[in-house]
Amino acid sequence: MAMPEAARSSDSVPPLAIVTGASSGMGRSIALELARRGWATLLIARRTALLEALASELRASAPSAILTMDLCETGAIVDTVRGFLAANGLVPRALFNNAGFGFYGPFLEQPTDLHERLWRVNYLAAVEMTRAVLPGMLERRKGHVINTASMSTKVGPWGHAGYAASKAALVSVTQGLAAEHPARASGVHFSFVNPGIVRTSYFEASSFAPLWKRVAKRAIAPERVARAAVNLLERPRLQVCVPWYYRAIDAIDAVSPALAHRIVAAESRPLP
Ligand SMILES: NC(=O)c1ccc[n+]([C@@H]2O[C@H](COP(=O)([O-])OP(=O)(O)OC[C@H]3O[C@@H](n4cnc5c(N)ncnc54)[C@H](OP(=O)(O)O)[C@@H]3O)[C@@H](O)[C@H]2O)c1
């Protein structure tokens, strides 16, 4: 789909952000928040109809285009994204690697192919999306890669073995990129966002039912995470936790890793 002229060329005004997982939940909210602040968007996910509906809504505020992709097919990402950007003369200023999914259940009920899909969508897809756009950002000395990680990366919770591992890898690669390309020298920022419990279709996967009973009362709206993620564009930071007070677990972990582990394990066990 073509992007209106205003978002083309390297001096694009408005600036362009790519948002993966934009068809629902936090990605959708991030795209809405970006458009509200005048950013053009390129929306990526599998469900074309939802992306199209969102893009038409966003166009009331700023240009928007869609690219339907299954991010599990990681081998195709770099060529597909670079091809689409080049064909439409689009130059991204920001990349939100937000697409992802989870599974809740004991390790022995998490087959290897589930671990592989979690790894592909939650980690490798973000790596490949970054590979697709980072060289251009470094060349222009302007850009920001913002990865949606998870509070589960702090201290591994019950039932999240594959999921938390994939998100912990995402945190680690973000830290590595930030170390390799300090923003002062490169002009490119790297951030990761750790949402806590967010009320989205993520929890509609049947495996999450026993956990949802426990955590529903703590769930926050996706708009809250979206605002925090988009705020990073104006005030870059390596890490942001939403809600911010979940960072208390870092302090507890620093003093007593065993206590942090006990708290997180107890809070994440299924309710009967
Ligand atoms: N909800 C929470 O409490 C929570 C907490 C911490 C972190 N997170 C993370 O936050 C991110 C957003 O999740 P959400 O809570 O907003 O859930 P969501 O509403 O289910 O959104 C997930 C998004 O990822 C996309 N996606 C999933 N698999 C994909 C694939 N193979 N290819 C392309 N796109 C794919 C989905 O689009 P399609 O289905 O259209 O492809 C959808 O747009 C995820 O990375 C999740 O792990 C969520």
| Domain locations in the chain as residue ranges | 7-268
**Per-residue model confidence (pLDDT) at position 1:** 44
pLDDT number for residue 272: 75
Predicted TM-score (pTM) of the model is: 0.95
| Ligand 1 contact, 23 CB (< 6 A) | yes
Distance (Å, whole) CA 71 – CA 21: 9
Ligand 1 atom at shortest distance from the alpha carbon of 195: 6
For residue 54 and ligand 1, the question of a CB distance below 6 A is answered with no
Shortest-distance atom of ligand 1 to CA 72: 31
The one-digit pLDDT tens for each residue of the chain (272 residues) are: 445 443 444 455 799 999 999 999 999 999 999 999 999 999 999 999 999 999 999 999 999 999 999 999 999 999 999 999 999 999 999 999 999 999 999 999 999 999 999 999 999 999 999 999 999 999 999 999 999 999 999 999 999 999 999 999 999 999 999 999 999 999 999 999 999 999 999 999 999 999 999 999 999 999 999 999 999 999 999 999 999 999 999 999 999 999 999 999 999 999 87
Does 70 sit in the ligand 1 pocket, CB within 6 Å?
A: yes
The burial class, CB within 10 Å (0-12 / 13-18 / 19+), for 114 is middle
pLDDT, residue 107, reads 97
d(CA 79, CA 220): 36
Smallest CA separation from ligand 1 atom 19, residue: 25
Query: Is CATH 3.20.20.70 the classification given to domain 7-268?
Result: no
CB 72 less than 6 A from any atom of ligand 1: yes
pLDDT of residue 3: 53
For residue 27, the model assigns a pLDDT of: 98
Instruction: Among 70, 74, 101, name the best residue to mutate to test ligand 1's pocket (greatest count of ligand atoms within 8 A of Cβ).
Output: 101
Give the pLDDT score at 132: 98
In short, whether 24's Cβ falls inside 6 Å of ligand 1 is yes
Distance 122 CA to ligand 1 centre (A): 9
59 phi/psi in degrees, rounded to 5: -65, -15
| Residue showing tokens 């756009």 | 133
The span from the first CA to the last CA of the chain, in angstroms, equals 48
Closest C-alpha to 219, from 230, 232, 207, 204:
204
Which stretches within the chain are classed as H helix?
25-36, 48-58, 77-87, 112-118, 125-140, 161-180, 183-186, 209-215, 222-234, 248-255, 257-268
